[in-house]
Amino acid sequence: MEHIVIIGNGISGITAARHIRKRSNHKITVISGESDHFFSRTALMYVYMGHMKWDHLKPYEDWFWEKNRIELKKAWVEKIDFAKKKLRFSSGGPLEYDKLIVATGSIYNKFGWEGEDLEGVQGLVSMQDLIELEENTLHTRKAVIIGGGLIGVELAEMLRTRNIDVTFLIREKAFWHNVLPIQDAEMISNHIKSHGVDLRHNTELEKIIPDENGRVKAMMIKSGETIDCQLVGLCAGVRPNVDFLKDSQLEIDKGILVDQYLQTNIPDVFAIGDCAQQRELIGQRKPVEAVWYTGRMMGETIAATLTGNKMRYNPGNWFNSAKFFDIEYQTYGWVWATPKKNEQHFHWQHESGLKGITIAFNTENKTFLGINTFGIRMRHDVFDLWLTENKKIDYVLTNLKKANFDPEFYDHHEKEIFRSFKNNMQEA
Amino acid sequence: MSRIEHNMALTGDAPASISVKQKIAVTIGMLGFIILILALTNINFPSKTLFLSLALGMMAVGTIWFANEAYLGKHEGIKNDGVWFKSMTARGVLAWITGIGLTLFYIIIYWFPQYLGLNAEGDNTGVISLFDPLSQILNGGAASQWFVYGTLYTLAILIFGYKFILKYRHNRYEIIRTCSVMFFQLGFAFIIPEILVRLNEPYYDFKNIWPLNYDLFAGYRLNEFFSSGNLGVFMLILGVVSIFIITPFLTYKYGKRWYCSWVCGCGGLAETAGDPYRHLSDKSLFAWKVERWVIHSVLVFVTVMTIAVVYSFLGENSADFWLTKDIFLWGMAGFLTLLFALIMIFKREQLAKDAKIGAVSYLVVILAIIGINYFSGNGNIFFFGGDQLRQWYGFLIGAAFSGVIGVGFYPIFGNRVWCRFGCPMAAILGMQQRLFSKFRITTNGGQCISCGNCSTYCEMGIDVRAYAQKGENIVRSSCVGCGICSAVCPRGVLKLENDSPSGRINSEEVLLGNDVDLMDLLNQKSH
């Protein structure tokens, strides 16, 4: 029986712990300074909006951990002595491990902006960030959000539920256009604006201006315009939370470098989830993926490896999802913001501006490469199969109805989509 | 995190605030309600018709205007902002006042109708007399406390149904489902039975199926049916066919939702007036255990009670009528044993835990039936007569559980307490749904982010997320198919489906997104 210690109780660490327990009798300790129990980070917004209470974020009841002999330790790890296999904490005695899994997740980016450490300037990743946001928005009538990604749009939605004026600054010419093709990005931009958000494209932060108490009172954009605000949301992406390991023997680039077995350069030390960086690229994936699903997959993989079934981290076809105010988004396969060589996009949008799809396909052999779908739910297993089997675009469009996952009695648009494809794409 | 400071308007609006127009709408609705309260004090309104219309009309207008203000002119989509901040929906003072008020109302209507103005002799007074004009129009007689109750109940389903439709107007499943419960309440539960009374036929709500309609086979009802000619016999036959043929068939095809969230009156009120309280249900594993024991106990209770009342209704002599006490009793014992045996033979793998409960329940029923024969021989069971047992059932389950606790406690325990813990009809439909149905809630591969919206807003207290995050379909006997988990899911993970029964329960935990080769998977399994 080994002592497996996991730093971080997010989706990666907890998935690893659960699967190790399922498959073995090892002693398991999960360490977190953030929260007593595992919670769904992606749902923090719903607590602020009053949809749920904190307890609802916890996928397992509190008795679950003891029953499954997963020890929980609430502490911040300060230093790791890899030679002696020992963890030191900001308070309390040390802890020894046989195997160590680092799953410390992400923290939000700061790019050295003037005023980025002022009071009232914050991001939204952790439980502490949420508490800080409650306190900060007690005095907020107007907020500015920097950075057009998934957390930015969530923060905008959150603040709007409290009728706080939101100015949303994004660098691109449309929302999340570094990921979404332009028509998709523009559709979401329009939707965000329709929710009363002052969305400003092609705009960047110059500096944040304090009042006499060291609190934000305004901010200046690159054009020189200043905007009064009592809150600045820093939502320009996240980065691996590995600063506390910077001066150790652990090899770190952006994140902790791992091989395809999630093994770091130090024996018996592994890294999973947002804080891990793949040494070798996997398919077209980025080396660091701060995504719920990949964290969960890595947790499952490392659990297999540590319980006697060495398993390569081998994520299948890419998929992801999000929700932008009222528009749900799912993606399967790769749809790049601008088509790569030999790629083409087919875009269809519903007249409401609330539904749309973009399909990427290969112009040479017509293979289906991926789909973005907005406001129409699609089946994961169906698209996964179609991607694996390299189906052609014609096949996908002919059979699109099979992939539909909308609730009963919803309007279907497959015929319209098919017609649009025939009219606009065929023989183009 | 204090909420008080939000009301100091330092920030944008407090999330729980309502607009000026909504305040006026609430006032109008309350004025209508106050007319009813004034009627209680025996104020002699100049025209009952006018003031009754005013009372009901103002409550309707107030609610409709409030709903319009809340939802129209806003984006279509999920509208749960501030649910846990509002006093009314987060067990605050308003919730307790409403809960206590409703509870008192139920206590009075069940046990002290004289306070509402029901007079054993002579004309109605008080609030009941206010409803006389409407009662005259519908059934030709004076109102009773049940007529008042039925009218208010129907009104609540209609006006809060309207509100619900606006709230979920982006979701056609919810719209159609709500139109259905509004239709069945207004037509089947309210108008048709009153008209039957006017035509001197037995009062009958055609969609109120035994055992929810626990009185259906009571002696006085059977006498009523038999003395009403063909229509009465038809009603009785329909009652039997409903539970033994129609119900299993529809539940097989569509799950129990065809009844619980599309037709049933209790479900209708829960889904409309009760909708703001759906998140208050207890999701703990403990609550689920309690639920299974309590609801199946009620089912046993109603089965024994019904057998006892029919037994005492029947005669001893086969020359009078072929169905005698003995034939009926042994027939029921045989039927229940057969049902039990079939479930155990064909479905036992599916029910490790549920089977034990089912087994115990049926064993108790069967023993009780045989007990009637041996220990009393005069229609008594546990030394009570069948009719006395029925009265106890009516008091404990029919009134105290379904009314006082079931509806009175909406704002505290959620809107489906009765349906989840008490309703014997739901228990039967639940067994059928769990074992013999095409219905399930499909989980969409690996897309779940464990956010918890589905579990939070499940009125039946099902921890939907526990299944969804594992990629498992949800096949639970208590699910009434309201569709809200699917609606509130931000990632499009859940879908209510009727599909082939094979592969319905995919209890194997799947790897959600990892590409594993089959050898790996086999190796894993062998560990």
Instruction: With respect to residue A259, please indicate whether it lies within any of the assigned structural domains.
Output: yes
Q: Residue A5 has what pLDDT? A: 98
Q: What residues have CB less than 8 Å from B73, skipping those under 6 apart?
A: none
Domain boundary among the residues A221, A236, A251 is at A236
Q: State the Cα–Cα distance between residues B172 and B159, nearest whole angstrom.
A: 18
A and B: number of Cβ contacts within 8 A? 188
User: B84 touching A, CB under 8 A?
Assistant: yes
User: B511 touching A, CB under 8 A?
Assistant: yes
User: pLDDT tier at B321 (50, 70, 90 boundaries)?
Assistant: confident
Instruction: With respect to residue A30, please indicate whether it lies within any of the assigned structural domains.
Output: yes
Q: Residue A121 has what pLDDT? A: 97
Instruction: With respect to residue A149, please indicate whether it lies within any of the assigned structural domains.
Output: yes
> Would you call B173 and A325 a contact, using CB atoms and an 8 Å cutoff?
no
User: pLDDT tier at B45 (50, 70, 90 boundaries)?
Assistant: confident
Taking each helix axis as running N to C, give the angle between helix B285-313 and helix B325-347, from 0 to 180 degrees, rounded to the nearest 10.
150
- What residue spans of B20-144 are helical by DSSP H? 20-40, 48-71, 93-111, 126-130, 132-139
Residues of chain A contacting residue B16, judged by C-beta atoms under 8 Å apart: 50
Domain boundary among the residues A180, A212, A236 is at A236
The count of other CB atoms within 10 Å of the CB of residue B334 is: 11
Nearest CB among B10, B86, B176 relative to A409 is that of: B176
Q: State the Cα–Cα distance between residues B493 and B480, nearest whole angstrom.
A: 18
Residue A288 token pair: 């660091």
Residues of chain A contacting residue B450, judged by C-beta atoms under 8 Å apart: 11, 40, 42-43, 59
User: pLDDT tier at B320 (50, 70, 90 boundaries)?
Assistant: confident
User: B9 touching A, CB under 8 A?
Assistant: no
Burial class (CB in 10 A: 0-12, 13-18, 19+), A151: buried
The listed range with the strongest mean pLDDT (A9-13, A309-313, B117-121) is A9-13
| Whether A183 and A226 share a structural domain | yes
E-strand spans in A307-355?
A: 319-324, 327-333, 343-349
Q: List % helix, strand, coil for chain B (3-state, nearest 5).
A: 65, 5, 35
Q: Is the pLDDT confidence value at B1 over 70?
A: no
> Would you call A52 and B10 a contact, using CB atoms and an 8 Å cutoff?
no
User: pLDDT tier at B515 (50, 70, 90 boundaries)?
Assistant: low
| Whether A166 and A83 share a structural domain | no
Domain boundary among the residues A272, A306, A340 is at A306
DSSP A257-290: EE-TTSB-SSTTEEE-GGGEEESS--TT--SS--
Task: Calculate the alpha carbon distances from B335 to A146, B206, B218, B430, B442 in Å.
Answer: 70, 25, 20, 19, 34
Mean pLDDT of B307-315: 85
Single-letter code of the amino acid located at A69:
R
Q: H or E element: which one contains A223? A: none
Instruction: With respect to residue A294, please indicate whether it lies within any of the assigned structural domains.
Output: yes
> Would you call A46 and B469 a contact, using CB atoms and an 8 Å cutoff?
no
Task: Return the biggest CA–CA distance within chain A.
Answer: 71
> Would you call A319 and B447 a contact, using CB atoms and an 8 Å cutoff?
yes
Instruction: With respect to residue A115, please indicate whether it lies within any of the assigned structural domains.
Output: no
> Would you call B513 and A315 a contact, using CB atoms and an 8 Å cutoff?
yes
Structural domain of A411? 319-424
Instruction: With respect to residue A116, please indicate whether it lies within any of the assigned structural domains.
Output: no
* Helices vs strands, H then E, count in chain B: 24, 4
| Whether A169 and A225 share a structural domain | yes
Residue A362 token pair: 């290969």
Chain B interface test: which of A229, A408, A411, A413 (most B C-beta within 10 Å)? A408
Over residues A39-91, the pLDDT tens digits come to 999 999 999 999 999 999 999 999 999 999 999 999 999 999 999 999 999 99
| Whether A336 and A401 share a structural domain | yes
Polymer length in residues for chain A: 428
Closest residue in B to A291 (Cα) is: B449
Task: Calculate the alpha carbon distances from B411 to A317, B87, B93, B299 in Å.
Answer: 46, 10, 10, 26
Q: Residue B347 has what pLDDT? A: 79
Q: Residue B15 has what pLDDT? A: 62
Mean pLDDT of B474-481: 95
- Tell me the CATH number at A325: 3.30.390.30
Contact B380, B305 (CB under 8 A): no
- What residue spans of B272-351 are helical by DSSP H? 285-313, 325-347
Q: Is the pLDDT confidence value at B224 over 80?
A: yes
Closest residue in B to A157 (Cα) is: B81
| Whether A349 and A265 share a structural domain | no
> Would you call A161 and B81 a contact, using CB atoms and an 8 Å cutoff?
yes
Q: Residue B373 has what pLDDT? A: 65
The count of other CB atoms within 10 Å of the CB of residue A265 is: 15
Instruction: With respect to residue A151, please indicate whether it lies within any of the assigned structural domains.
Output: yes
Q: Is the pLDDT confidence value at B511 over 60?
A: no
| Whether A333 and A266 share a structural domain | no
CA A319 to chain centre: 12
The C-alpha angle with vertex A97 and arms to A96 and A101, in degrees rounded to 5, equals 135
Residues of chain A contacting residue B172, judged by C-beta atoms under 8 Å apart: 407-411
E-strand spans in A147-292?
A: 165-169, 198-200, 205-210, 216-221, 226-228, 231-234, 238-240, 256-258, 269-271, 276-278
Mean pLDDT of A227-242: 97
Residue with tokens 């089946």: A379
Contact A247, A234 (CB under 8 A): no
Contact B45, B133 (CB under 8 A): no
Q: How far apart are the first and last CA of chain A?
A: 64
| Whether A399 and A342 share a structural domain | yes
| Whether A128 and A189 share a structural domain | yes
> Would you call B446 and A380 a contact, using CB atoms and an 8 Å cutoff?
yes
Q: H or E element: which one contains B260? A: helix B257-260
Residues of chain A contacting residue B170, judged by C-beta atoms under 8 Å apart: 326
User: B353 touching A, CB under 8 A?
Assistant: no
| Whether A190 and A152 share a structural domain | yes
> Would you call B445 and A379 a contact, using CB atoms and an 8 Å cutoff?
yes
* Interstrand relation of A269-271 and A99-102 (parallel, antiparallel or unpaired): parallel
Least confident span in A71-75, A118-122, B301-305: B301-305
Q: Residue A268 has what pLDDT? A: 97
For chain B, the average pLDDT equals 87
Q: State the Cα–Cα distance between residues B496 and B124, nearest whole angstrom.
A: 48
The C-alpha angle with vertex B261 and arms to B255 and B266, in degrees rounded to 5, equals 125
User: Pick from A317, A326, A307: which is nearest to A374 by CA?
Assistant: A326
Q: State the Cα–Cα distance between residues A387 and A180, nearest whole angstrom.
A: 19
User: Pick from B366, B76, B203, B167: which is nearest to A325 by CA?
Assistant: B76
B10-41 b/e with 16+ CB inside 10 Å = b?
Answer: ebbbbbbbeeeebeebeebbeebeebbeebbe
Least confident span in A94-98, B259-263, B433-437, B478-482: B433-437
Kindly tell me the sign of the dihedral angle through the C-alpha atoms of B250, B254, B256, B261: negative
For chain A, the average pLDDT equals 96
Mean pLDDT of B56-60: 97
Q: What residues have CB less than 8 Å from B308, skipping those under 6 apart?
A: B372, B379, B381, B385, B386, B389, B390
Q: Is the pLDDT confidence value at B516 over 70?
A: no
Q: Residue B519 has what pLDDT? A: 46
Residues of chain A contacting residue B15, judged by C-beta atoms under 8 Å apart: 49-50, 161-162
User: Pick from A166, A174, A170: which is nearest to A227 by CA?
Assistant: A166
Residues of chain B contacting residue A138, judged by C-beta atoms under 8 Å apart: 5-6, 10-11
| Whether A339 and A268 share a structural domain | no
**If DSSP codes are grouped into helix, strand and coil, which group holds residue B303?**
helix
Residue with tokens 């039990």: B340
Q: State the Cα–Cα distance between residues A40 and B452, nearest whole angstrom.
A: 8
Q: How far apart are the first and last CA of chain B?
A: 48
Least confident span in A248-262, A372-386, B5-19, B446-460: B5-19
Mean pLDDT of A132-153: 94
- Tell me the CATH number at A254: 3.50.50.60
Number of domains in chain A: 3
User: B113 touching A, CB under 8 A?
Assistant: no
The count of other CB atoms within 10 Å of the CB of residue A425 is: 16
Residue B387 token pair: 């009719």
B 406-465: CB under 8 A from A: 442, 444-447, 449-453, 455-456, 465
Q: Is the pLDDT confidence value at B154 over 60?
A: yes
Output phi, psi for B81, to 5 deg. Answer: -60, 130
DSSP A87-99: EEESSS--EE-SE
Over residues B241-263, the pLDDT tens digits come to 999 999 999 999 999 999 999 99
Q: State the Cα–Cα distance between residues A215 and A229, nearest whole angstrom.
A: 10
User: Pick from B125, B131, B161: which is nearest to B146 by CA?
Assistant: B131
Provide the β-strand partners of residue A328: A323
Q: Is the pLDDT confidence value at A26 over 90?
A: yes
Percent of chain B at pLDDT above 70?
87
Mean pLDDT of B86-110: 94
E-strand spans in B120-187?
A: none
Q: Is the pLDDT confidence value at A32 over 80?
A: yes
Q: State the Cα–Cα distance between residues B383 and B362, nearest whole angstrom.
A: 21
Nearest CB among A51, A294, A409 relative to B83 is that of: A51
Q: Residue B329 has what pLDDT? A: 82
Instruction: With respect to residue A112, please indicate whether it lies within any of the assigned structural domains.
Output: no
Closest residue in B to A377 (Cα) is: B492
User: pLDDT tier at B7 (50, 70, 90 boundaries)?
Assistant: very low
> Would you call A139 and B466 a contact, using CB atoms and an 8 Å cutoff?
no
Over residues A346-381, the pLDDT tens digits come to 999 999 999 999 999 999 999 999 999 999 999 999
Residue A296 token pair: 């969960």
Over residues B415-431, the pLDDT tens digits come to 999 999 999 999 999 99
Closest chain A C-alpha to B257 CA, distance in angstroms = 13
Residues of chain B contacting residue A61, judged by C-beta atoms under 8 Å apart: 284-285
Task: Calculate the alpha carbon distances from A143 to A124, A136, A140 in Å.
Answer: 14, 10, 7
| Whether A361 and A419 share a structural domain | yes
Task: Calculate the alpha carbon distances from A51 to A286, B81, B159, B488 in Å.
Answer: 33, 6, 24, 10
Q: Is the pLDDT confidence value at A237 over 80?
A: yes
Residue A127 token pair: 């439980």
Q: Is the pLDDT confidence value at A416 over 70?
A: yes
Q: Is the pLDDT confidence value at B4 over 50?
A: no
User: Pick from A369, A377, A376: which is nearest to A396 by CA?
Assistant: A369
| Whether A197 and A277 share a structural domain | no
Least confident span in A65-69, A170-174, A317-321, B514-518: B514-518
Percent of chain A at pLDDT above 70?
99
